[in-house]
Amino acid sequence: MDEYKNIYVEEDDGIAFITIDRPSKLNALNRETIAELHEAFKELDEDREIRVIIITGSGEKAFVAGADISEFSDFSVKEGGALAAKGQEVLFDFIENLSTPVIAAVNGFALGGGLELAMACHFRIASHNAKMGLPEVSLGVIPGYGGTQRLPQLVGKGKAMEMIMTAGMINAEEAKSYGLVNHMVAQEELLDYCESIARKIIKNSGVAIAAAIRAINAGYKDGMDGYRAEIEAFGNCFGTEDFKEGTTAFLEKRKADFPGK
């Protein structure tokens, strides 16, 4: 695993933990951190032994408190557009379409780019002290890393409009009631809880999970027929070793022993 300046990666029996480690900046995303995250996710996704990735922030205050505003406060229109396009391509869309399941362990503030990062993950689990929001309009800009698209998908158009227009924060309990996070737990239990879910995922077929991710995402993409994508992915599963093992194990009344992804 590469050495990184702003993040660190740990591995434990099929699970990788990525921790964003810029505590003095409340783990804010700068261009260097985004590039490092891309490399880490790419490398882990290519590692057949890694079956689930959990991402969190260092310390007890923040998951990611936003983007590093000092990097782009003097950008032009063209530079601003390029910033959003590149960020979406190399990190946010990249995570959403990753074949390896990604869980966001939201351990504090997840604001702006931080909430957008969490929303790009396949699902989210929050600590009781987590606070989430998209405050960009208070700076005269809008969310640029997919926030205007993913938030309505997760919480509905009206609630997303309110959150973005008010630039306010919601707490973990509200986030759970909106469907923005799946579970809410005490901060000291957060990573263990995420790992317990990851262990359940690992028992299943990594090949089938990757196909399910692609099929689910297809239903949210313009110009794609999610049902057609599901039919195709379903059919392709019949040609995999995982399908043979899964069905044989079921008929033999034993637990399936799936290989790596």
Give the integer Cα–Cα distance in Å for 220 and 152.
Answer: 11
* pLDDT value, residue 67: 87
Give the integer Cα–Cα distance in Å for 25 and 177.
Answer: 29
* pLDDT value, residue 3: 82
* pLDDT value, residue 164: 98
Contact 128, 186 (CB under 8 A): yes
Dihedral angle, C-alpha 100, 101, 107, 111, nearest 10 °:
90
Active site residue 136: yes
Contact 27, 62 (CB under 8 A): yes
Other beta carbons within 10 angstroms of residue 40's beta carbon come to: 20
Entry pTM: 0.96
Mean pLDDT in runs of 10 for the chain (261 residues)?
Answer: 87 97 94 96 96 96 92 92 95 98 98 98 98 97 97 98 98 98 98 98 97 96 94 97 96 92 76
Residue of 32, 39, 46, 136 marked catalytic? 136
Residue of 46, 116, 173, 189 marked catalytic? 116
* pLDDT value, residue 2: 66
The class level of CATH for 7-202 reads alpha beta
Give the integer Cα–Cα distance in Å for 196 and 155.
Answer: 25
Helix (H, G, I), strand (E, B) or coil at 10: strand
Residues sharing a CB contact under 8 Å with residue 29, sequence separation 6 or more, in sequence order = 20, 64, 66, 67, 68, 113, 114, 117
Active site residue 116: yes
Give the integer Cα–Cα distance in Å for 69 and 72.
Answer: 6
* pLDDT value, residue 103: 98
* pLDDT value, residue 228: 97
Q: Which among 91, 93, 75, 86 has a CA at the least distance from the CA of 40?
A: 91
